[in-house]
Structure 1
Amino acid sequence: MASITNETLSRYLSDELDAVVATSNLSPVTAGARRINVLFDATIDGTDRALCITQLPNEGEAFRSIPDEVQWLNLAHRAGMNVAEVVGWSDDASILGGPFFITQQISGVTIPKRVVELCADTPGLGATVAYQIGESLARLHVRSIDEVPADVERPPGTAVDAALAWIDEGMSELLQRSPAFELVVRWLTHNQPSPVAVTPIHGDTRNGNIIVNETGLGAILDWETAHIGEPFEDLAWLAQRMWRARNDSLEIGGFANRSDLRRGYEAGGGEWSDERFHWWKVYRCVWWGLGLARQGRQHLDGTFRSVIMAASGRRVAELEWDALCLIDPANQAA
């Protein structure tokens, strides 16, 4: 964050907001591999605000451009979702050393284990958070796809067609066959749900991409992979065992039951289907397993040398096991 200083930040915000702005207390916080987050305080025309910079130091590694991500955040804000309001943004790397956006700062915890612990220690909190996530996602899913950035791909067929095509591609890239995934892919093919309209979806809502505090859901984070798809692709991702921080008795993030999510989703205007939820839960399990295999391959072939990528590849067997459990009629709540 060498280029992020109080001087450059105050100058940018003063020009952007047409106000007198002074910033202080720059504090880098843990973020993903591709971005930097910096918390700071700002006094804007005499009013104090706590804000956060999200910056892409290397735009070439980003899944989505800053202008597109800001457009998704603004869509979510208009929809009434629990998201941080955007204060400013720029794709001019000369200002702060990389493209960035600035949002309001929201207090709470994001590390999955801490989210689970906070919910366990606060009666009713987990159910509240799941309800609010469901309600927020429903508000996004009822919006028109005309509101998403113009360069976001529109699936040529159904969302299920696009999903199975992605699976076929991922299976073809495996360095060794996976009989477990082959069996589960046959299940997916033979149990396809009927087509429904596609909608804007977040794509990565899970324990780890949410802010939770003592009052409930602070915000849904990380809009890098937002796209057009089927609503239950979002909802089923929340239920993957990987995100439960070992608290497997609670299906949604390790902190709530599916019924809590469903109540919120229906209250927000969404239509629930256990059949669709289960199909997409199985799909997302295979999808993530193939994604981990791809990360492992990128380490091995030198595309992205990283111990994290190598470790990801070693976890594929966990997803094979989870997927097999999910297609076992006796294990569908796994």
Structure 2
Amino acid sequence: MDIKELQAKVEVHLSSVWKEPVKITEIFHLSGGACQDNYALDLVSNSTKKSVVLRTDKGGSLLSSLSKRDEYKVAELVFKAGVKTPTPVYLEEEASVIGSPFFLMEKIAGKATGRYITKDKELDVYRKTKMVSDLASNLAKLHTVTPESVNDEDLKQKLKLVTIQNYIPIAIADLRKSLDELPEAHPAIELCLNWMESNTPNIDKIVLVHGDYRTGNFMMNPDGLQGILDFEFAHWGDRHEDIAWLCMRDWRFGRLNKEVGGFGDRNDFYKEYEATSGIQVDPFKVTFWEIMGNIRWAIGSAQQAERHLSGKDKGIELASIGRRTAEMEWEAMRLIEEINNAV
């Protein structure tokens, strides 16, 4: 669908839903990655003017990603928990309007690119003062959402209800299943899965996990954090999972000495997270989930390559991501070796 056709369809639909004429005065396509399409829209009606982002799926979504309905419902939960995230505006579950379900959220200021977050000089002051604390405290607020606090039973199930006893075994079993579905063998991944099964830590509590909390999924400018984005991989799990994902080598954008997202130090992040949550961060659990995260990303990148190679959804971005599988395999084994040498 071209952008003018999209504009016309959205105008007609929102006018019908909101019971007043709605005009889109400006619309343009935003970068949405390999699986998402995002459009910036300026809406004008009799009662209001809104700058929003329309978010919908592009082609096929990644395995395990939430539907647009569930992603929107998670954004509502997180917003109500006090997390700095764009205000949810409208959900459309029917695919018939524009060809796939979509939702609207507040358009916020800032940039999310890794190079900007980690290296741009206009963020130097914020990077040195509050970037780590803002992200740590917002993550701690996100983790206050628990299965017990959610009334939507359908959403509870879609986020994969688990227990502290079965979550990690289920996670490993899911990875084994995904690995078995790939057309080629990955012995390094098998080795890491075996190690994780033998070194499974305890979980203190099941909480809502963002699932992709990393540099690239939060908007910033010199005024600070503008909003946390992208809840398509949210699920119930271990709080250490999100902390570990942010610390993964792959999200440091070349600044390897800054283990938190390429801009901060682990101990500072742990301290700020603990100050907000009242929960002590366990460094071994973080490393365990870093290993798990690298294996998940290794399998995920191989899946994206297979989408391209199979012809299901051909694209240079999918192919280039797939080439990076070996990097995550190497990093996971390096982390295991580091733990073993420390014992």
Does TM-score exceed 0.5, indicating one fold?
yes
Q: Tell me, yes or no, if structure 1 residue 155 matches structure 2 residue 162.
A: yes
CA distance in 1, matches of 2:197, 2:57: 38
Q: What is the match of residue 184 of structure 1?
A: 192
Equivalent position to 2:262, from 220, 239, 254: 254
CA distance in 2, matches of 1:120, 1:329: 36
| Residues 332 and 252 (structure 1), Cα distance of their counterparts in 2 relative to 1, 3 Å cut | farther
What TM-score results when the alignment is normalised by the length of structure 1?
Answer: 0.87
1:255-270 matched pairs, under 5 angstroms: 255-269=263-277
CA distance in 1, matches of 2:53, 2:340: 42
Q: What is the match of residue 122 of structure 1?
A: 124
The Cα shift of 1:166 comes to: 2.3
Unaligned runs of 5+ in 1: none
Q: Which moved more, 1:17-26 or 1:213-222?
A: 17-26
**Structure 1 moving runs of 4+ over 6 Å:** 59-62, 330-333
CA distance in 2, matches of 1:49, 1:176: 49
Q: Tell me, yes or no, if structure 1 residue 289 matches structure 2 residue 298.
A: yes
Contact 1:92 1:99 in 2 (8 A): yes
| Residues 9 and 303 (structure 1), Cα distance of their counterparts in 2 relative to 1, 3 Å cut | closer
Q: What is the match of residue 331 of structure 2?
A: 322
CA distance in 2, matches of 1:268, 1:172: 41
1:33 is paired with a residue whose SS is coil
The Cα shift of 1:321 comes to: 1.8
Unaligned runs of 5+ in 2: none
Contact 1:66 1:100 in 2 (8 A): yes
CA distance in 1, matches of 2:12, 2:166: 48
Q: What is the match of residue 112 of structure 1?
A: 114
Identity %: 28
The Cα shift of 1:254 comes to: 0.8
| Residues 162 and 240 (structure 1), Cα distance of their counterparts in 2 relative to 1, 3 Å cut | same
| Residues 325 and 92 (structure 1), Cα distance of their counterparts in 2 relative to 1, 3 Å cut | same
Q: What is the match of residue 28 of structure 1?
A: 29
Q: What is the match of residue 43 of structure 2?
A: 42
Q: What is the match of residue 217 of structure 1?
A: 225
The Cα shift of 1:129 comes to: 2.6
Q: What is the match of residue 147 of structure 2?
A: 145
Contact 2:86 2:107 in 1 (8 A): yes
Q: Tell me, yes or no, if structure 1 residue 168 matches structure 2 residue 214.
A: no
What TM-score results when the alignment is normalised by the length of structure 2?
Answer: 0.85
Q: Tell me, yes or no, if structure 1 residue 198 matches structure 2 residue 217.
A: no
Number of residue pairs aligned between Structure 1 and Structure 2: 332
CA distance in 1, matches of 2:322, 2:341: 25
Q: Which moved more, 1:127-136 or 1:81-90?
A: 127-136
Q: Aligned-residue CA RMSD in angstroms?
A: 2.9
